[in-house]
Every structure is written in structure tokens, then in C-alpha cells.
Amino acid sequence: MARFLPPEQWFASLPTAYLAAFGLITDEAGRVLLVDPNYREHWTLPGGVVEDGEAPHLACEREVAEEVGLRRTAGTLLALQWSAPRGVRPKPFLSFVFDCGTIDSGAAITLQEEELDDYAFVEPDSAAGMLHPALAPRLTGALRARSEGATVYVP
């Protein structure tokens, strides 16, 4: 006869991961909105860590509003990237990229000054080169997914 763990022990035994959510926002010319965090060397998409119990799409909307002052709806899930544990981070990261649409390049951007130094609308071919090499596939995958109407898994 099979013996099962009590639910609290079973759930405690499952693997866990950290979650992050980002928004792909472009302007009318197709340039990608990137932000320059003051706590790392490379630029990134607006977004950040998913809080405990928060849905990734809602985290994306919250982070975009906090970081650049834009109220955007997290649309289609464009890309999901899995990043292995490394360095002081003992668990993998799952990063979601949602389609947050197109805005006018003259739209008012209000930077979260505690975390960000700058923002820019960047041509897609150049944008990936501004991101950390481990994160660039997240952007290129999201752009491909948007053009193809599909979701991309980025290992």
C-alpha cells in the first residue's frame, strides 16, 4: 500500500524558484523601452521580482508603473526564461516577459530614482547588446514571439 506524505511535508519537499516579471514596451517606431538600473552594469526591460503570492502578470504591471510611471496592462506572455542558480543565488530564476504594448515615444516617463538612472528607446538590434549576455535572449525571444504571435521558452 502506498504511503503519502502529509500535504505540508509534501509541499515543503518540492523544488522552488524565484520569479521576476518584465514588460516589453515599444514606441511607434518599434524601438524597445529599456531602463538603466543603478545597481547593475547593464540595461534591462522594466520589471522586477514577483512578490510573495503575487501573480506574475500583476507583478509586471506593478513594476512597470513603479519603475517608469506607465500604467500598462500585461498582455500576452511573450517569453519565459529559466536561469540556473549561480553565485550567491541558490535557486533558479523564472523570468516572465509580457507584452505591454506600444506607446508614443513622447509619453511621459517618470523614473523610479531609487533604482534607475535613465531610460531609452532603443532599436531592437542594438537593445539586446545593452543587456547582460544572459538576459539578451529574453529580449530577442520576446520580440520574436510578438512578431510570430507565440510564446517562446528561453532556456
Over the stretch 70-96, which tens digit does the pLDDT of each residue have? 999 999 999 999 999 999 999 999 999
- In angstroms, the CA 118 to CA 71 distance is 19
With respect to residue 102, please indicate whether it lies within any of the assigned structural domains: yes
Residue 87's domain comprises: 19-154
Nearest to 59 by CA among 41, 86, 77: 77
With respect to residue 103, please indicate whether it lies within any of the assigned structural domains: yes
- CATH number, domain of 38, equals 3.90.79.10
| Per-residue pLDDT tens over the stretch 4-25 | 899 999 999 999 999 999 999 9
With respect to residue 90, please indicate whether it lies within any of the assigned structural domains: yes
With respect to residue 98, please indicate whether it lies within any of the assigned structural domains: yes
Exposed e or buried b for every residue in 117-139, given b needs 16+ CB within 10 A?
eebebbeeeebbebbeeebbbbb
With respect to residue 2, please indicate whether it lies within any of the assigned structural domains: no
Q: What is the dihedral of CA 122, 124, 128, 129, to 10 degrees?
A: -60
With respect to residue 7, please indicate whether it lies within any of the assigned structural domains: no
| Per-residue pLDDT tens over the stretch 24-46 | 999 999 999 999 999 999 999 99
| pLDDT (0 to 100) of residue 36 | 98
| pLDDT (0 to 100) of residue 105 | 87
With respect to residue 42, please indicate whether it lies within any of the assigned structural domains: yes
> How many Cα atoms are found within 13 Å in the side-chain-facing hemisphere of 67?
28
Q: How many domains does the chain have?
A: 1
With respect to residue 66, please indicate whether it lies within any of the assigned structural domains: yes
- In angstroms, the CA 57 to CA 26 distance is 18
